[in-house]
Amino acid sequence: MKYDLIDKNLFIENRKRFVKNLLPESVAVLNSNDEMPRNGDGNFPFRQSSDLFYLSGIDQEQSVLVMAPDCPVPEYREVLFLRKTSELIAVWEGHKYTKEEARNASGIQSVYWLEDVQTIMTTILNHSKNIYLNLNENDRFSSDVPYRELRYSNELKSKYPNHNYQRSGPVIADLRAIKSPVEIALMQSAADITDSAFRRILGFISPGVFEYEIEAEITHEFLRSRATGHAYTPIIASGASANILHYTTNNNECRDGELILLDFGAEYANYAADMTRTVPVNGKFTKRQREVYEAVLRVMRAATKMLVAGNTIPKYHEEVGKIMEQELIGLGLLKAEEVKRQNEKSPLYKKYFMHGTSHFLGLDVHDIGDKYKPMQAGMVFTCEPGIYIPEEGFGIRIENDILITKNGPDDLMKNIPVEPDEIEELMARQRELSIQ
Ligand code: GLY
Ligand code: MN
Ligand code: MN
């Protein structure tokens, strides 16, 4: 792996907490993600299932994790099945886990090759009443493409119709939402790598540079810092493109006088950072750009303070909406009178700020978690207000990653420049250095 080996106690603890939630006489099975075909004989780069990784630390395709804490055969209570490596695989694909390495990464002692899965699973299933299956239960997931866990669920249900089927999804969602200190350290590494990339590009952005050149600089900094890569497709949006929320073509030339919105985050050891900064292409905000920027920054500061234990995402979004409303009135974009008369179900601020302020962050950028349950210490949320004004040719978003602690919010990106003066100074200084 590109990243340092993670302390296996993280995964041992995660499994302990997971199995505590199972009904008696249960088995839970988790599968690796598919290796997604691209074209011809090519695949997209493999990305492990976040759930399987969370419970095992195993970062390899075709792996299966089985937990059956009440199984009468003690060595089958926690089992890993792995792809058996061979000289041929070693020559063509490189190193795969040995059994000893898999034990060392996961803390699971019973490691078998996949060729044994049928025999061993028959025993485990015959001595279980409940089978926990792990479908994708992310609220935003919407895809018709059948995936490994879905195919596996259908197969098992047809072979074993008399078992009682349960969902792992809600159990894992609650566990994954609360980050342990080891996970927070990994997320901090992802945030720090993102910081380096941001500082790297501050001296590089200038009129005439193309968005994809900036993307290339970010990718360079990520890879040399041992990031697994981007946590999501980066948005490098100059000028009016910033108003396209999911702009990822990144193919325009940056022009003098424009702003550029940069939404990118490193993935380190499968943990995500998610950051947005908006900076002036020529290094200096205009009066109007700065005015709007400072409004967005005030909203971010106020919203961050509300990311505290006990609050809920829906209530929080409503409160942030009210703060944004006042800022938009101050900027002359909304009229106080119209806001007073607005339909509360479709508030006027949504014309300029049409997305949510926060989402869970962790192994996935839009991480799993129940947003209707109260926030708790250990949860990490983004905080990402924005104001998008197509008629003025720019959009501004600022996004940091916030850990909820017992003592209040802790900004994992507090060291990443965000004040407009600091951004202008850094851009000027780095340009001087590159000219010298
Ligand atoms: N980068 C994706 C998001 O901000 O939600
Ligand atoms: Mn985000
Ligand atoms: Mn983002």
Q: Which domains does the chain have, with CATH numbers?
A: 9-176 (3.40.350.10), 178-201+269-277+285-435 (3.90.230.10)
Q: Residue 85: its pLDDT value, please?
A: 86
Nearest in space to 412 (alpha carbons), one of 215, 227, 220, 183: 183
For residue 354, the CA-to-ligand 2 centroid distance in Å is 13
82: tokens are 């792995």
> Residue 331 in 3-state DSSP?
coil
What is the pLDDT confidence band of residue 237, given thresholds at 50, 70 and 90?
Answer: very high
Task: Using the predicted structure, report yes or no on whether residue 65 has a pLDDT greater than 80.
Answer: yes
What is the pLDDT confidence band of residue 436, given thresholds at 50, 70 and 90?
Answer: low
| Across 287-296, average pLDDT | 98
pLDDT tens digits along 29-54: 999 999 999 999 999 999 999 999 99
User: Is the Cβ atom of 232 under 6 angstroms away from ligand 1?
Assistant: yes
For residue 357, the CA-to-ligand 1 centroid distance in Å is 10
Annotated catalytic, 41? yes
Element (H, E) at 67: strand 64-67
Dist. CA 255–CA 276, nearest whole Å: 20
For residue 296, the CA-to-ligand 3 centroid distance in Å is 15
Q: Residue 431: its pLDDT value, please?
A: 81
Measured N-to-C along each axis, helices 9-19 and 169-177 cross at an angle, to the nearest 10 degrees, of 130
**Taking all residues of the chain, what is their mean pLDDT, rounded to a whole number?**
97
Annotated catalytic, 317? no
| Across 302-321, average pLDDT | 97
Q: Residue 434: its pLDDT value, please?
A: 77
> Residue 324 in 3-state DSSP?
helix
Q: Residue 432: its pLDDT value, please?
A: 83
Active-site residue among 54, 397, 401, 424? 397
For residue 277, the CA-to-ligand 2 centroid distance in Å is 12
Dist. CA 334–CA 345, nearest whole Å: 17
pTM confidence score: 0.96
Phi then psi for residue 323, to 5 deg, are -65, -45
Q: Residue 99: its pLDDT value, please?
A: 96
| Across 237-266, average pLDDT | 97
User: Is the Cβ atom of 274 under 6 angstroms away from ligand 1?
Assistant: yes
Unique residue bearing structure tokens 């249900």: 157
What is the pLDDT confidence band of residue 2, given thresholds at 50, 70 and 90?
Answer: confident
Annotated catalytic, 246? yes
DSSP 238-288: EGGGGGSTT-----PBP-TT-EEEEEE-EEETTEE--EEEEEETTS---HH
User: Is the Cβ atom of 248 under 6 angstroms away from ligand 1?
Assistant: no
Unique residue bearing structure tokens 């017992």: 406
DSSP 10-57: HHHHHHHHHHTTSPSSEEEEEEPPP--EEETTEEPPP---HHHHHHH-
Dist. CA 333–CA 331, nearest whole Å: 5
Ligand nearest to the CA of 246: 1
Q: Which residues on neighbouring strands pair with residue 402, listed in sequence order?
A: 381, 411
| Across 412-422, average pLDDT | 98
